[in-house]
Each structure stands twice: as structure tokens, then as C-alpha cells.
Amino acid sequence: MPPPSDIVKVAIEWPGANAQFIEIDQKKPLSSIVREVCDGWSLSSSEQFALRYADGPQLYITEQSRGEIKNGTILRLAISPTRAARQLLERIQSHGIDARLEALKELAKLSADPTFATEFINLEGIGTLARLVESGTHFGEMLAFTLTAFLELMDHGIVSWDLISLSFIKQIAGYVNQPMVDVSILQRSLAILESMVLNSHNLYHRVAQEITVGQLIAHLQVSNQEIQTYAIALINALFLKAPEDRRQEMASSLAQKHLRSIILNHIIHGNRPIKAEMAHQLYVLQVLTFNLLEERMMTKMDPSDPTQRDIIFELRRIAFDGANDPGNTEKRKAMHTKDYRMLGFTNHENPAVDFMQTPPGVLALDNMLYLARLHQDTYIRIVLENSSREDKHECPFGRCAIELTRMLCEILQVGELPNEGCNDYHPMFFTHDRAWEEFFCVCIQLLNKTWKEMRATVEDFNKVMQVVREQITRALAMKPSSLDQLKSKLRGLNYSEILRLRQSERMSQDDFQSPPIIELRERIQPEILELIKQQRLNRLCEGSCFRKVGNRRRQDKFWFCRLSLNHKVLHYGDLDEPPQGEVPYELLTDKIPVSDIKSVVTGKDCPHMKEKTALRQNKDGLELAFSILYDPDEALNFVAPNKYEYCIWIDGLCALLGREMGSDLTRSDLDTLISMEMKLRLLDLENIAIPEAPPPVPKEPSTYNFTYNYG
């Protein structure tokens, strides 16, 4: 007979004594269980003891977390978190250097435990650590452990960052601004400053006053990628929290310090492969840089602004050399109207009206002026080439430039916040100081070329723009490393190639609509779904690495989860860094029986998405979040690193629970695999018209004399 669900069999250790093997009744108070364990070793004052896990992070067990204890878990009897916090605080303030160092080392390890952290903070422990840092008397390992403990304690979100003193900020900033400082101290100092900026509006201003951009950029030129990552993370945090009127000024300062070229030479083209966290920070910097365009993108043109009117006049002058305007006002107006028509504006009388729609607003005008000034030959060629055509196939440059700018803003998500966990940066945008404008110049030439290949007229405008969007998105997906590579990729994606790709992708939809084919598809579908199900379960058996997300962006906290080979248990545990290969089950100390799983929830229904965190406010963080709800009323919370992993895990968990797999990835895989299977089965029917209905069954013959008589 199996034991009751509220009885858990565990082993409990105590230094210098034989382990106790006991059954924990989850209905009994934890204090009673600790008392019984202490009695087994004849220990008095049981209230000064507590239970901790013996493996992994060795967290304290509380009434709230005791439900996570599983059969076979090894526990350890330890002094209570209150007593441990008091003893460590006393040892930290002792005069003995060695004793203080050991205490800080132990504190750095224990501070990750929320139960201990609460007790230590209640004893004003954070204030003590802050004073140790402010004194400036700690160096080397002692300072590194102090900063580690401080960061871990603050990361629990128990104490507000606004309570941090200015002298503490100055001391931490001093470590960052020093040309020569220990790597571990520098790393933790950068992380602390990043957390200050992200978690407090007031501290942003103080940190911004203390940190020099030049020194942060100097940290990007070292060989240690961890330091480079923390430095870019702090730059991004300052960028993200800066007031709108300060962001452009900060961007100009970074440009003057050659941030882009330093990133390109020391990171993107560096000797070491770029890790996931660095890729994310480069993506964030890319997004924040493009977001500087949002103000221009959302600004309508003011027809009464002489500066903006002069830009339109300059576009006309460069294209048509309008130095010799006629003196007569009427003739000049008529000539201007004709020129604006040739420039491809929708409103020939007043082109300023074309820039009234947002997006793209006056950003389109900025792009057109850049092309006209910096790539004058290209600009003149495009305009004159189309203005001289009489066959209704002219490409309206002005209208195309405006629509293209709007499209590029959509593709690059100008104005949107960075997505948590996204690593989708494009190296080519770090190869030029005016990468946005150069990107536009490449794309407007592509548009003109595609227009000619399609022999399009004005009525085909939207069709051309759809083809151009597809060309650009397909080229960006190939991750060209430079603008020249982008041009090369786009040359290979001409209109004919797009048609070929579309046709091959559309085969399953266009050619398989007759009733016999639909019936065949319905018969194939169950076995294909079973194949997809097995693939999803196999992926869960391989496992995935997830990032732990707290109140600040954790750059060094990961955990791994994988399904047992018999599909009965989910194993999970913490990791110090992302794994390079498969993580053995033995290293994953925690587990959940699949039979205990009650449901899987996603998005805002997840427990960790109901908390007020930066991730909760990010729609993409919501889209990648899911939680496993299991007995007794517990949850295992996930934030997938990307949409693909999210779909894999949602599908796999649904398959485990006997539910329908309904992710976008399943639909895509189902279409692809069914299409391939049907094409294979129909190979012998190539070029044969498949009838809508089966042929009629012929009438029975009048006689069966034609049959062979074997007798």
C-alpha cells in the first residue's frame, strides 16, 4: 500500500552524527518536526535550529516551502536563520581580519536564501554592509564578498533602493571609474549600479552624475567578456532610464567616444564567441538606438516651418538643378508643381501634406534628404529615371520613400521596448555611424529595382511594397554582417526568386484542395501529430536552460529542467552558468511527478507574472511565460528564452497531460510534414489531374464466363 500523500520520507544530517531517516508528516507544524529531530541527537533549545536542504542552494525550509520536499530528499539540521544572521552580523563587525573574511564569505553564500535574507535585513544588516563599503577600508576578496552579499540581499526586493546613501554610490562608482581594479569587484560594482538605475528614478540621476561614459567604454576594450557584458548592461540601463530630452545628448556623447566602432572591433569581431547575455545586451542597445528615431517618426510636418519647407525645396533643387527658376511667380509655381509630380509626391501642390501622417512623419523626409545629400548620384538617377518614363511604369519616389520608412520602422520595431530574453541583434547596424540612413538607402534602391522587375504601375503600389517587405525580412533573417553583405543577399532575392519561394511554400495550399486530397490529408494527420508529439517529448527529455528573473535582470542565475526518459517525472535544478551539453539527472536535485501536475497556465495567469516586475510590464515577457501548477497548490514558473522553446515546452506539457497541442509551432510543423508526406505519396500522380469525385463503379457484367476455372 503506498504511503499517504502527506507523508514524506527523508534523511537528515548533522555534523559528527549518524543520519536520521524519518517520515515527515506535512500536517504537523515544522517546529514540532525540528524538535523531534533535535531530540534524536539530544540537542536542547530546538527553537534555535531549522532544516535546510543538503544539496543545491541549501535553502532553509519554511512552512511556505515545505511542500516542495520530495521522498528521498536529504536535509540538514542547521542553526535557525535568525541565529545565523545574528552570529554573522557579529562576526562581520569583529576586529579579526580572518574571522571577518570567513563571515563575509559565508554571508555571500547565504544571502541568496530569502528566509535568511529577511532575518539579516531585519537586523539592519544591509546598513552594516553599506558602511563597510563606505569606509573604504576593505579590499580584495573581503570587498568582493561584501558587494556580492549586498547585491544578493537587495535583489530580494525587501528593501527599497532609494534608501542607498550618496556616499555609497560614490564609493561604488569609484571602483568603476578606477583604471585598475580587481575583476570580481568591478563586475559586482557594475551590477550594483545597473540595479540602482533600473530600480530607482532618484538613483538614476545620482549614478549618471558619478559615472563617466568614457570609463564605461574603456571597460569594453578588455578581454573579459563578462566585464564587457556588465558594462554594456549599465550603458543600456542609463540609456533606458534617461529622460527623453537627455537620450539624444547621451547618444551623441557615446558616438563621440566611438562606442560603435569599439563594440564592433572588441566584441563582434573579437576573438571569443558572443554568449547569449552579451547578444541580448547588443540587441537592447540596438533597440534603444533605433528608438531615438521615435520622436521624428511621430512628428507631423509643419507646413509653416521654413526649415522643413527648405528641405523639400532642396530635394527638388538637387534632382532638377532648380537654380534657373523663372522670375514669374505663376510660371515658378507651375514648374514646382510639375517637379513635385516628377519627384513622386502624392500632393503635387503642397508636398508637405504627404508628411502629415505618423508614422513615419518627418523621419521619411530626413531619410530622403540623407539620400539626396550623401548619395546624390543614386538619388538623381532614381528620380530622373522614373520621371522621364511615359509608359505609366514610373516609380513614385516620394510616395515610395515615405511608405518604405514606415515599413522599416515596423520591421525594426522603432519605439517599442526591448524584449526580455531576445538576442536578435544585427551586426551590420554596428558597422556604420549612420546605419539607419544607410539601411534606408539600400532598401530604396531595392524598391526601385523590384518595381522595374515587376513592371509595376501605380495601381500595383501595395503589391510592390509587400514584395519589398518580404525581400528585406528574408535578408535580415540571414544576419548579414555588413551593409555590403545585405546588398548581396538582396541581389539574390530578386522578384523571380521571391515568386519561386512563394510558390514552393504555397504548394500545399494551392494544389491540395480537391476532396480526395483533403480526405488523404485527414487520414495522414493523426500519424503526423503523433510524430510531432514524440519529438516534443524527446525535446523535453533533452531539457532546456531557463533564466531566473527577479527584480533586476539576473545575469548569472540559471536553472535547468528536463523530463525523465519514462515520461513520469520532471527533474529541475539550479546552474551557475548555461550548460554546454546535456545536464545529467543526478545534478538536478528537485523533481515533480507528472501525475501531480494539475494544469499549465500561460501569460498573465502565471503566478510570477502577477507580481509587479519589469518583466510583468513587458508584453513579450508575458508571451514567453508559463507555469506548471501541481499538488499541493504549488507552481513551477518558467520564462522561455525564445518563442521556439516556449512552443516546445507548452506542446510537450500538453502532450504529457493528454491535451491538444495548439501552439503556432505545432501548426507550422503539421503543415510542413503533411505537405511533404502528401507530395511523396502523390509522386506517381504528377501531371495527372485528380478528379473532384471518384469515378463511378461500373455495372456488373451480364455473365462471368470470362473467369478462369481452376478446376
What pLDDT does 646 receive? 93
Q: Which of 419, 320, 324, 424 lies closest to 376 in space, CA to CA?
A: 320
Residue 414 has pLDDT above 70, yes or no: yes
Residue 194 has pLDDT above 90, yes or no: yes
For 53-73, the pLDDT digits (tens) are 988 788 899 998 888 888 888
Neighbours of 486 (CB within 10 A): 24
What pLDDT does 554 receive? 46
- 388/221: higher pLDDT: 221
C-alpha to C-alpha distance for 24 and 60, rounded to whole angstroms: 16
Of the pLDDT bands very low, low, confident and very high (cuts 50, 70, 90), residue 620 is low
Distances, alpha carbon 423 to alpha carbons 276, 280, 336, in Å: 7, 4, 48
Q: What is the CA radius of gyration of the chain?
A: 33
Identify which of 97-101, 179-183, 532-536 has the greatest average pLDDT: 532-536
Of the pLDDT bands very low, low, confident and very high (cuts 50, 70, 90), residue 370 is very high
C-alpha to C-alpha distance for 286 and 468, rounded to whole angstroms: 23
Distances, alpha carbon 496 to alpha carbons 471, 492, 685, in Å: 11, 10, 27
Residue 592 has pLDDT above 50, yes or no: yes
Q: pLDDT over 90 for what percent of the chain?
A: 56
Average pLDDT of every residue of the chain:
87
Judging by beta carbons within 10 Å of its beta carbon (0-12, 13-18, 19+), is residue 384 exposed, middle or buried?
Answer: middle
* CATH architecture label of 7-79: Roll (3.10)
C-alpha to C-alpha distance for 252 and 247, rounded to whole angstroms: 9
Query: C-alpha cell of 543?
Result: 531539457
Phi/psi for 18 (5° steps) reads -70, 145
Judging by beta carbons within 10 Å of its beta carbon (0-12, 13-18, 19+), is residue 660 exposed, middle or buried?
Answer: exposed
The mean per-residue pLDDT over the stretch 407-417 comes to 94
Alpha helices in 219-328 (DSSP H): 225-241, 244-256, 259-263, 276-290, 294-297, 306-320
C-alpha to C-alpha distance for 203 and 215, rounded to whole angstroms: 19
What pLDDT does 31 receive? 92
CB proximity list for 116: less than 8 A, separation 6 or greater: 60, 81, 84, 85, 110
The mean per-residue pLDDT over the stretch 298-326 comes to 82
In the structure, how many helices (H) and strands (E) does the chain have? 28, 11
Q: pLDDT over 70 for what percent of the chain?
A: 91
Q: What b/e string do you get for 230-241 counting C-beta neighbours within 10 Å, with b at 16 or more?
A: bbbbbbbbbbbb
Of the pLDDT bands very low, low, confident and very high (cuts 50, 70, 90), residue 581 is confident
- 637/137: higher pLDDT: 637
For 522-557, the pLDDT digits (tens) are 889 999 999 999 999 999 999 999 887 654 544 457
Residues 564, 586: contact at Cβ < 8 Å?
A: no
Of the pLDDT bands very low, low, confident and very high (cuts 50, 70, 90), residue 113 is very high
* Domain 526-667, CATH class in plain words: mainly beta
What pLDDT does 486 receive? 96
The mean per-residue pLDDT over the stretch 313-321 comes to 89
Q: Which of 592, 587, 585 lies closest to 577 in space, CA to CA?
A: 587
C-alpha to C-alpha distance for 488 and 485, rounded to whole angstroms: 5
Angle at 580 between CA 277 and CA 230, to 5 degrees: 20
Angle at 315 between CA 314 and CA 317, to 5 degrees: 60
Q: Which of 627, 569, 629 lies closest to 598 in space, CA to CA?
A: 629
Domains 7-79 and 526-667 share a fold: no
Domain boundaries, the chain: 7-79, 80-159, 162-273, 298-505, 526-667
Placement of cell 559586482 in the chain: 188
Q: Which of 37, 40, 39 lies closest to 50 in space, CA to CA?
A: 37
What pLDDT does 480 receive? 95
Q: What is the pTM of this model?
A: 0.74
Phi/psi for 448 (5° steps) reads -60, -40
Distances, alpha carbon 539 to alpha carbons 390, 548, 561, 691, in Å: 60, 21, 11, 41
The mean per-residue pLDDT over the stretch 618-641 comes to 82
- 682/295: higher pLDDT: 295
β-pairing verdict for 558-563 and 49-53: unpaired
Strand residues in 476-555 grouped as ranges (E): 544-547
What pLDDT does 245 receive? 83
The mean per-residue pLDDT over the stretch 292-317 comes to 91
Of the pLDDT bands very low, low, confident and very high (cuts 50, 70, 90), residue 1 is very low
β-pairing verdict for 74-79 and 7-13: parallel
Paired with 365 in beta bridges are none
